[in-house]
Amino acid sequence: MRVTVIGTGHVGLITCVSLAELGHVVVGTDSDEEKIGQLDKGLSPFYEPGVEELLVSGMRAGKLSFTSDSTAAVAEADVVFICVGTPPRASGEASLVAVEQAAAVVGRHASRRTVVVEKSTVPAGTAQRVKQMLVRLKPDLAHEVVSNPEFLREGKAIEDSLNPDRILVGAESPSAFAVMRELYAPLIGNGCRLIETDIATAELAKHACNAFLALKISYANALARLCERSGADVVAVAEVMGADDRIGKQFLAAGLGYGGYCFPKDLVAFERLASGLGYKFRLLKEVARINDEAVEATAEKVRDALWNLENKKVTLLGLSFKPGTDDVRFSPALALARRLMSQGAVVVGYDPEAGAEAKAELPGLEVASDPYEAAGGADCLVLCSEWAEFRDLDLAKLDEIMQHPVIVDGRNFFEPEQMRAAGFSYYPTGRPAIY
């Protein structure tokens, strides 16, 4: 099939390379010409394991190309994916300006009947708006509109796209469902369910999934606060909970909380959508509040260890919102850095991939090129995201180069016994501290 993807960000680019890998002929388009220039050279604008390999192989096979000319790209497409950003407005609602612009390009320049697939995360009701616009611009073409939300995780995006557990398609007509079935045919079966619904259900289900995962994390973080006050161990509590299949063991890791460009903004957008529909979804506000509290609780541990923060050096290991990505948007590590800096601490960070991005986001942050450079002379070290390479840290060396051997573990990454044996004061999250 001839597929055009509008928007080559985290969702759009993965859609491009995955659909090309499935054998479709894909054109990716983006208004950012510099990004298109980079993609043409086989370079990904962001770090994501495996994406450049598929980018290069797709282009070599003649299945994948990029252009900044979206009007030409949509003209002959069988399917057009809208993968543009839906950033939060000041009110927290998702801004749908880019979605409207993308729909207008299809409405004006598609020369044949096309299936327009909404893949960006949007509030329920958006597809209806897109449909109205398409009808207004060219009523005779009768384009189809489909909601096909993305469930991929950054850092595991290729794996999630090519081996999904589910593909969700919300559509109105049998022909639209048929096109989507053909598009994804190689992926369906083998542990991947195709779920077909009406459009509003698909749109709402995406927000429901992200909000529920965020809720699980905040539940674990609220338990962590309780464990810290009662002497219980949140890791063991989560293990007990996870042993019940009805609860499930994933997304119960207490720590610095969730970040990234999905959970924080989707949660607020979902709450705003509910409010617009006349329902006060207060639970979602509480989930966000507990998430903010998780950063404050970690800052409190640093203060507890160091007393006054003025001119104390604090090292943060891991600056991206989670390991496996260079994405620092809504990163809890940077929220913690801001908080510590505002109280007078000198904060030095290290991240295997996101150092430059963190520095651009927070210029006052010092960024080191390796963990030991970051930790030299530090009064305290905070583990903020659990990159695998931190497993190999030489604890004896850290003890030697730090001013004081104090570790705050924002992800319960280290074993308490390992810390005790290495002689550190150790402040985990929701578990007894070791002094």
Which residues are catalytic, by number?
A: 262
Those residues with Cβ within 8 angstroms of residue 2's Cβ, 6 or more apart along the chain or in another chain: 24, 25, 27, 76, 77, 78, 79
* Of 14 and 419, CB closest to ligand UGA: 14
Give the separation between CA 27 and CA 77, rounded to whole angstroms: 9
- Min dist CB 316 to ligand UGA, Å, is 14
HSE, CB side, 13 Å, CA atoms: give it for residue 338: 12
Q: Which is nearer to ligand UGA, 110 or 127 (CB)?
A: 127
29/429 with CB nearer ligand UGA? 429
Residue 81 CB, nearest approach to ligand UGA (Å): 14
To ligand UGA, the closest distance from the beta carbon of 43 in angstroms equals 21
Task: Look at the block and give the residue holding tokens 């939300």.
Answer: 149
- Burial of residue 359 (number of CB atoms within 10 Å: 0-12, 13-18, 19+): middle
Largest CA distance in the chain: 75
**Residues found near ligand UGA in the complex (CB under 6 A):** 121, 150-154, 210, 213, 217, 251-253, 255, 257-260, 262-263, 321-322
**SS3 (DSSP) at 381:** strand
CB of 152 to ligand UGA, least distance (A): 5
At its nearest, how many Å lie between ligand UGA and the CB of residue 260? 4
265 or 313: CB nearest ligand UGA: 265
385 Cβ contact partners less than 8 Å away, ≥ 6 residues apart: 256, 317, 318, 319, 320, 321, 322, 323, 331, 333, 351, 411
Residue 221 DSSP SS3: helix
Rounded CA gap, 252 and 223, in Å? 10
Q: How many CB atoms lie within 10 A of CB 280?
A: 10
β-bridge mates for residue 29, sequence order: 6, 67
Q: Which is nearer to ligand UGA, 25 or 387 (CB)?
A: 387
Residue with tokens 């497409």: 77
Of 252 and 336, nearer to ligand UGA (C-beta) is: 252
Instruction: Tell which residue, 381, 382, 294, 299, has the closest CA to residue 330.
Output: 294
Query: Helix, strand or coil for residue 2?
Result: strand
Least separation in angstroms between residue 252's CB and ligand UGA is 6
